[in-house]
Structure 1
Amino acid sequence: MNDRILFTGGKPLGLLARLWLRLGRLLGRLLLWGGLLALAVWGGASAWYAWKFSGPVAAQEVIPPGEAAMTQSIIQTAIRIVDQHRDNTRYLRDAHAKAHGCVQAEVSVAAGLPAPLRQGVFSEPGKTWQAWMRLSNGNAYPQFDNLQDARGMALKLLEVPGTQLMPSQQARREQDFVMFNHPNFFVSDVAEYQQNFAAQAAGKKVLAFFPGWDPRTWQVRHLLIALQTLADAPASPVEASYYSVSPYKYGSANAKFRVVPEPSACPSYSLPAQNRDEPNFLRAALYQQLSADRVPACFALQVQLQDARRYMPLEDTSVLWKESDSAFQTVAHIRVPAQDFDTPAQNLACDNLSFSPWHGIDAHRPVGGINRLRRAVYDAVSEYRHARNAQAQ
């Protein structure tokens, strides 16, 4: 018998069985070579990014040409989104439209701060600032809390002395910190933001990261950052960590901010299980702790100083500042006392609050392209929204 005929159990296999086995071997080889190729690509990309994201960076801003024109285009897109997502009676924010609540908070500067960390609103150890805190979902349209989304925290310190950054805002006497729940952003700069924002406003989600057929224009790393940002909801808004993402001045240095839960600074508390199918279960969780159970929530406000000898750029918000290059240091403690926050009057006041990285003093001036963009966009959208809601700016 021909020795090329295959046997199983002493019997020759049929033609289809022989073809099936050969197809299986072929597919096995393809999978093996595909896996090896994927490993090689991953290794090459990792080595390339390690080389690209290394070495010293500028300690000062570098403004690219054409940024002002791109900013005006983004403002028009943001206003179009505000118009599209208007509810029956009110114009909403172009992002972080849904609040879980605005709560009163106390921000106490940490005792024993070393001199380099005594800057701006943190210059007096032991000083306690009264503040407003807004906790929110990131989407431009209010949606169920159990959907994957970014989560935000905006913090507004009150009665802050000194000249405000924006000449038109001198009556505010505020210092705002605007943060969300991921340490780096899914766009690098204003040019990329313009392209991505316009695509998403047109209903393109994943395709916003693939602006053309040329693979060199694909933003796969940024897509992965976006997918990591759109996370499952935490059990409660006070159990998440929040990041400034973009850098600020910290006296003469540059820095990023982070707010992390600090349960050891508050009475021990276990949140009862919430019904995550309820559309507003994050508000319910916040109400359960602060209003029903009357238990405060605590956070640490931390700063990460830039080391310009490391790859910690000011103009690329997609790059993670590694904690191994510069550790976060606690500069203040935040206490959210027990309170009744979920009232019609307070919810309306919450809706009318404006938060911006540019509401503040020069010691914490925002830096970098995304922050320059935010100055123009936040101000224009806030003015547009308040005017249409018949509220004074």
Structure 2
Amino acid sequence: MLMTLWLRMCVLLGKAVLFVVGLGLLGWAVATAWSAWQHRGPVPAQEQIPTDEAAMTRDVIQTAVRIVDSHRENTRYLRDAHAKAHGCLNAEVQVLQDLTPELRQGVFSEAGKTWQATLRLSNGSPYPQFDSLRDARGMALKLLDVPGTQLLKDRQSRGEQDFVMFNHPNFFVSDVAEYRQNVAAQADGKKVMAFFPGWDPRTWQVRHLFIALATLAPAPASPTQTTYFSVSPYKFGSANAKFRVAPDPDSCPVYTLPPQNQALPNFLRSALTQQLSTDRVPACFVLQIQRQDPSQYMPIEDTSIEWRESDAPFETVARIRIPAQDFDTPAQNLQCDNLSFNPWFGLEAHRPIGGINRLRKAVYEAVSDYRHARNAEQ
């Protein structure tokens, strides 16, 4: 009797599980179809600026400053994102010799030109944490001694061109309005619930939650084995484009990184030290662009949309070489902490475009000024 009842309960439970799974699959299929129907081309090739964007930007700045205040390390004020660096490295960026005329734009105008650069590799979290925890990983690249008029008036003597990237092709928010809501929730300690701002299912950002979960990836074996994306678009001469930096092992000596102790809090820094300082083996990347085709669904104002390679392939414009070097010293680490990277540090030919980039301009400036002013008081 009890056995029969138990078997019937198991059968009912199995059917219930199958029903829930089937319902979930059906919901996923409907959501995918709805998303595909919504996200169709063509799209504008020019920016579309909301009238209330300035007010929303001020709110984001206040939240970002609050994050900096709450996440300082001892007496030093850290970045509001990508606070923990694995290292700042000297690098060389060489433009390809055989670029077609339409790819010879801005810092890529001179075939074969080699730029000296500084490259910062980091975790994405706004406070330092163990490298083994799931996190975004970032690369910020600064080309040095770049001639020409800078985008920002107070940077004319700096001669920089920055490229700021992280390890996922699209962002977990679409625009400034959504970023304001999400970052305020994150600052209040909400994580998953930041994507569910109310009881109305129409406000739920389920697709963006999955993007965020995919972005918070397990740590790579080394920062030199990761691909980094600009996520947001930029001008590329008269075109619009996104950037990508991908490992290029064929351009460097063959190297196998010895296994690292991933229980250590800073094992990604250790991996860089092992390769560049101990084994004296350089690391290589390619710098690529993906040009917008406005006849396809490749929007400027929505950074949650990945531009499909089937619509526009990536094209290599330069190679990056990180030579063997000693970089992990107290003086260099302090200098690394004081460096500022900003996609608006650069030339008109590579002007950042879209709402998230316009937001970056205001927030980066405000937070950087606040952080450096507070650190100067220490």
Query: Do Structure 1 and Structure 2 share a fold, with TM-score over 0.5?
Result: yes
How does 1:257-336 map onto structure 2 within 5 Å?
A: 257-336=243-322
Spell out, residue by residue over 1:213-265, the C-alpha distance to the aligned partner (whole angstroms, 9 max, x if none).
11111111111111111111111111111000000000000000000000100
Alpha-carbon separation, structure 1, partners of 2:137 and 2:95:
25
Alpha-carbon separation, structure 1, partners of 2:166 and 2:32:
27
Spell out, residue by residue over 1:119-151, the C-alpha distance to the aligned partner (whole angstroms, 9 max, x if none).
000111100000000000011111111111110
Counterpart of 2:372 in 1: which secondary structure? helix
2:293 partner amino acid: D
Alpha-carbon separation, structure 2, partners of 1:184 and 1:218:
18
Q: Determine if the alignment matches structure 1 residue 177 to structure 2 residue 179.
A: no
The corresponding residue for 1:138 is 124
Alpha-carbon separation, structure 2, partners of 1:187 and 1:39:
24
Alpha-carbon separation, structure 2, partners of 1:134 and 1:304:
23
The corresponding residue for 2:225 is 239
Question: Per-residue deviation at 1:24?
Answer: 3.2
The corresponding residue for 1:7 is none
1:381 partner amino acid: V
How does 1:46-125 map onto structure 2 within 5 Å?
A: 46-125=32-111
Question: Per-residue deviation at 1:294?
Answer: 0.7
1:61 partner amino acid: E
The corresponding residue for 1:223 is 209
Alpha-carbon separation, structure 2, partners of 1:309 and 1:361:
27
Cα pair distance change 1:219/1:292, threshold 3 Å: same
Cα pair distance change 1:36/1:277, threshold 3 Å: closer
Counterpart of 2:376 in 1: which secondary structure? coil
The answer to whether the 8 Å contact 2:168/2:229 transfers is yes
Question: Which one of 138, 160, 163 corresponds to residue 152 of structure 1?
Answer: 138
2:145 partner amino acid: E
The answer to whether the 8 Å contact 2:41/2:298 transfers is no
Scaled by the length of structure 2, the TM-score of the pair is 0.98
Question: Per-residue deviation at 1:86?
Answer: 1.1
Q: CA RMSD in A?
A: 1.1
The answer to whether the 8 Å contact 2:248/2:284 transfers is yes
Alpha-carbon separation, structure 1, partners of 2:232 and 2:321:
24
Question: Per-residue deviation at 1:33?
Answer: 3.1
Cα pair distance change 1:337/1:40, threshold 3 Å: same
Alpha-carbon separation, structure 1, partners of 2:128 and 2:216:
15
Question: Per-residue deviation at 1:35?
Answer: 3.1
Alpha-carbon separation, structure 2, partners of 1:92 and 1:32:
48
Question: Per-residue deviation at 1:43?
Answer: 1.7
2:326 partner amino acid: D
Counterpart of 1:285 in 2: which secondary structure? helix
Alpha-carbon separation, structure 1, partners of 2:36 and 2:294:
17
Q: Which segment drifts farther, 16-25 or 177-186?
A: 16-25
Counterpart of 2:319 in 1: which secondary structure? strand
Question: Per-residue deviation at 1:160?
Answer: 0.7
Alpha-carbon separation, structure 1, partners of 2:182 and 2:144:
35
Spell out, residue by residue over 1:85-139, the C-alpha distance to the aligned partner (whole angstroms, 9 max, x if none).
1112311101000001000000000110011111000111100000000000011
Question: Per-residue deviation at 1:45?
Answer: 1.3
Q: Which segment drifts farther, 342-351 or 201-210?
A: 342-351
User: Number of residue pairs matched?
Assistant: 377
Question: Per-residue deviation at 1:27?
Answer: 2.8
Alpha-carbon separation, structure 2, partners of 1:345 and 1:271:
26
Spell out, residue by residue over 1:183-209, the C-alpha distance to the aligned partner (whole angstroms, 9 max, x if none).
000000000000000000000011101
Question: Per-residue deviation at 1:18?
Answer: 3.8
Scaled by the length of structure 1, the TM-score of the pair is 0.94
The corresponding residue for 1:349 is 335
Identity %: 72
Q: Which segment drifts farther, 253-262 or 29-38?
A: 29-38
Question: Per-residue deviation at 1:47?
Answer: 1.1
Structure 1 unaligned blocks of 5 or more: 1-13
1:360 partner amino acid: G
Alpha-carbon separation, structure 2, partners of 1:32 and 1:350:
53
Question: Per-residue deviation at 1:34?
Answer: 2.8
Alpha-carbon separation, structure 1, partners of 2:277 and 2:18:
58
Alpha-carbon separation, structure 1, partners of 2:312 and 2:253:
31
Structure 2 unaligned blocks of 5 or more: none
Q: Which segment drifts farther, 367-376 or 163-172?
A: 163-172
Question: Which one of 189, 192, 198 corresponds to residue 178 of structure 2?
Answer: 192
Question: Per-residue deviation at 1:65?
Answer: 1.8
Alpha-carbon separation, structure 2, partners of 1:65 and 1:20:
63
1:340 partner amino acid: D
Q: Determine if the alignment matches structure 1 residue 210 to structure 2 residue 203.
A: no
Question: Per-residue deviation at 1:277?
Answer: 0.7
Question: Per-residue deviation at 1:71?
Answer: 0.4
